[in-house]
Amino acid sequence: MKLSLLNKKKYEWLKNSELFETFDDEEDDEEIEAIYCKADENNLELLFAVIKFWGVFDYPINFFENIYNLKPFKYLKDNFDIHLKDLFDFLLAFISLESKNLMPLCCKYGFLEALKFSETIYAKENTYIKSLENCCIYGHIELFKYLFFKSCIPEEVFDQSSSDTNLFEIACKNGHLNIVKLIHKKAKPPKSWFNVKFGCENFEVLKFLFEQGYPYDKTVCALLSTKNNLKNLKYCHENNFPWDSRTLKNALINGSYECFKYAIENECIWTPDNIHSYENEMVYYACTSKNQGSIKCLKFLKKIGKYELNHGEALINAAYNNNLDAIKFILENYDLSDSPDNSSIKDFVSYPFEKCIEYSIQFNYFEIFRYCLDFYKDKINIEILERDILKFALDGNMKFLNYLDEKYNFDNLIRNVNFLENACKSNNIECVKFFVEKGFIRSENCMLLSFNNFEIVKYLYENNFLWDEQFIVKCISETTEESFKCLQFANDKGLIIKNYYFDLILQKYYDYLVENKTRDKEKDIYIISLFKNYIDENGY
């Protein structure tokens, strides 16, 4: 084809393409190898091949009208081209949505000619407002201008003091300076209701609003520290925006180290709550956040020595909030021996450290538990951890137990029957095996405590644990599928049911439903039938 062909009306749409921009005027009569078609071509395979070949970036109104009328759902889905993702996403929505949503959709994707076509289908006041709002969100200035100057849009849309849709605020928040300038110039929004904070995150918008005399207050600096926006924070401070103690608080919570450091160095003061000291609040906010920047803030304060942190409380807060990095910083930089309220194990560690261990166990913070024990490995022995190991046994917490097994010798604890009893209560057979294999002293209660876990009962039997008639009574009394399996297993192994409390069995299983109204009757009937049939089959 010759390039001059593009001067024909039906092909001139191809001039809005990346390929055409590579040619100059002298090549108008050049012969080139290229595919081409009109914008409203019905052969969609050819149409989209041409779009991709030329790199078309702007489409005429008849292109969108044709697609809308054809509604080629299947083609667009089956031939979705990742290189034309935005176009395909738009077109699929364009042919799917209700007509009232077409104009806002066009303003989201930025297709001006599609917007013009959509107007012919559905154009009402609320549609225009939503469309303008999308322009302010996504920054499509040409579409905004097109709508902005239309006489059909009511003036109150631009009187921001009376409109629910604050276009000026939306454009400022999204950093679209061209739209901000246009609204400022043409709509002249009253300055009395606006605050610079709405546009403070974008430097150019912030600068424009300040230079135009829009009001500001201390919330601007506080907001910027939340986003770690140091450039804008410096601009505000250099132009006498007031500090707010929330500037420091927000910086700590969000790990905005650069803003925190700048604010401290430039005399930003933290005003504590009535019930807290400065140090306690600093600790709380820094240790609640898991952002690395928050730890850098604490390190900075320690370096300049301006504020003395309550490091004992810091450790407790860090442990409660699962903030391992804060715990590392505190333990590696402060001596906890001078913390108040020494614990019951004060000969070894302080109260804050004990609380740290307590929280790590209570909330299953394994990494904190491991780090703390490694840090104080020379001061902590297995006896100190006896209470904690009992809890791990009861919870069946093998991760903690296996770690302690690698670090310590359990020999001094094996004569305490509570460990194996707790393991049997845990319903975790791996936990039971752990204590049995370590030789922990056995208890006559172990079988009784395991009545509702057949796997554990079987394991205990194979390892010569004893049972008696109380085990039979317990299995009967609880009436569960697991207790039935345990009862059956015990009877098969010689703990004969008929030898123990036969009257109890009869009472339990023939009159049970009458006696107990609170249980799940359907399940009760099933479980009772298991026991009854088993008893009948064995001739009891």
Q: How confident is the model at residue 345 (pLDDT cuts 50, 70, 90)?
A: very low
Helix (H, G, I), strand (E, B) or coil at 154: coil
- Judge whether residue 516 has pLDDT over 60: no
Mean pLDDT, the chain, rounded, equals 85
16-41: pLDDT as tens digits: 999 999 987 666 677 888 999 999 99
Count how many residues are written for the chain: 540
pLDDT of residue 435: 96
212-223: pLDDT as tens digits: 999 999 999 999
% pLDDT > 70, the chain: 82
pLDDT of residue 339: 53
Distance CA 260, CA 98 (A): 49
pLDDT of residue 199: 92
Q: How confident is the model at residue 347 (pLDDT cuts 50, 70, 90)?
A: very low
- Judge whether residue 503 has pLDDT over 60: no
- Judge whether residue 302 has pLDDT over 60: yes
pLDDT of residue 484: 81
Mean pLDDT lowest among 30-39, 54-63, 431-440 = 30-39
pLDDT of residue 499: 57
- Judge whether residue 444 has pLDDT over 70: yes
Kindly list the distances between the CA atom of residue 154 and the CA atoms of 148, 396, 523, in Å, as whole numbers in the listed order.
10, 69, 68
pLDDT of residue 324: 93
Average pLDDT over residues 304-314: 74
Average pLDDT over residues 445-457: 94
> Where is 379: in which H helix or E strand?
none
224-268: pLDDT as tens digits: 999 999 999 999 999 999 998 889 989 988 999 999 999 999 999
Distant-in-sequence, close-in-space partners of 129: CB < 8 Å, separation ≥ 6: 153, 157, 165
**Is the model more confident about 472 or about 253?**
253
Chain center to CA of 321: 16
Distance CA 310, CA 280 (A): 7
Q: How confident is the model at residue 524 (pLDDT cuts 50, 70, 90)?
A: low
- Judge whether residue 272 has pLDDT over 80: no
What per-residue string of b and e applies to 148-158 under the rule 16 or more CB within 10 Å gives b?
beeeebeeebb
Q: Name the nearest CA neighbour of 448 among 426, 429, 421.
A: 421
**Is the model more confident about 423 or about 385?**
423
pLDDT of residue 274: 44
The sign of the torsion formed by the CA atoms of 159, 165, 166, 167 equals negative
Distant-in-sequence, close-in-space partners of 154: CB < 8 Å, separation ≥ 6: 125
Average pLDDT over residues 452-467: 94
- Judge whether residue 315 has pLDDT over 90: no
Distance CA 460, CA 431 (A): 12
pLDDT of residue 275: 43
Can you give the residue ranges of every domain in the chain? 462-540
pLDDT of residue 27: 61
pLDDT of residue 341: 47
Q: How confident is the model at residue 361 (pLDDT cuts 50, 70, 90)?
A: very high
Average pLDDT over residues 319-338: 84
Q: Which residue has the tokens 């109204």?
A: 517
pLDDT of residue 109: 97
391-433: pLDDT as tens digits: 999 999 999 999 999 999 999 999 999 999 999 999 999 999 9
Average pLDDT over residues 178-205: 88
